[in-house]
A and B are shown apart, each in its own frame.
Chain A
Amino acid sequence: MTALLEPEASTGPAVWRSPGRLSPQRSLALCAIGALAGLTAAGTALFTARGTTTLIVPAEDVALVNGQAIARSDYLAGLRALYDVGPAEATPAQRRKVLDDLVTEELMVQRGRELDVAAVDPDVRAATVSAVEQAVAADALTRIPPPQALRTYYDAHKDRYADEGVMIVRDLVFTPAAAKAAAQALAAGRPVDTVLAQFAGRDSGRTKGEEFYFAARIHLGAALFDAARRTPSGGVSAPIAQADGIHLLQVLKNRAPVPLSYEAALPSVRDDYTQAAVKRLQAQHAAFLRKRASILVASDLK
Chain B
Amino acid sequence: MGIPPGGRWRAAVILAAAALSLLGGVALAARLVGDRLVVADPDALDPRAASVRLGRAHGALLFREHCAGCHGDDGRGDATNGAASLADHDWLYGSGKTSEIEGVIAHGIRADAPKTWKLADMPAFGRPRPSAADPSLQPLAAGEVSDLIDYLLTVEGRGENPQAAERGRAVYAARGCQDCHGGDARGDPGIGAPNLTDEIWLYGHGGREGIRRSLLDGRRGRCPAWAGRLSAADIRQLALYVHSLPETAR
Contacts and interface: CB of A to CB of B under 8 A. Distances in A.
Contacts of A283: none
15 contacts: A4-B4, A20-B4, A20-B8, A59-B233, A72-B38, A76-B41, A88-B41, A131-B114, A134-B113, A138-B111, A138-B224, A138-B229, A210-B142, A264-B213, A267-B82
B44 A88 contact: yes
Q: Is chain A's binding surface mostly helix, strand, loop or mixed? A: helix
Q: Is chain B's binding surface mostly helix, strand, loop or mixed? A: helix
Nearest to A87: B41
10 A-B pairs with the lowest CB-CB distances in the bound complex, closest first: A60-B232, A20-B3, A20-B7, A59-B35, A142-B224, A88-B41, A19-B11, A137-B112, A144-B69, A88-B44
Contacts of A131: 114
Given A19-B3, A215-B128, A267-B217, 4 more contacts: A1-B4, A37-B21, A141-B222, A264-B213
B106 interface: yes
A28 interface: no
Interface residues of B, number: 64
Contact of B141 (A34, A41, A215): A215
A64 interface: no
A33 B217 contact: no
B237 to A, nearest CB: 12
B190 interface: no
Interface string B68-107: 0110000000001110000000000000000100110010
Contacts, number: 136
Interface string A141-164: 110100000000000000000011
B114 A266 contact: no
Interface string A19-33: 111100000001001
A289 to B, nearest CB: 18
B216 interface: yes
B141 A210 contact: yes
B173 interface: no
A210 B111 CA distance: 38
Nearest to A19: B11
Interface of B: 3-4, 6-8, 10-11, 14-15, 17, 21, 24-25, 28, 31, 34-36, 38-39, 41-44, 69-70, 80-82, 99, 102-103, 106, 108, 111-115, 126-128, 139, 141-143, 203, 209, 213, 216-217, 219-222, 224-229, 231-233
Interface residues of A, number: 53
Contacts of A21: 7
Interface stretch (A112-120, A270-278, A293-301): A270-278
A41 B99 contact: no
Contacts of B34: 59
A86 B21 contact: no
A218 B4 contact: no
A267 B111 contact: no
Contacts of A144: 69-70
Interface string A30-68: 100110010011001000000000000001100000000
A86 B7 contact: no
A30 B15 CA distance: 11
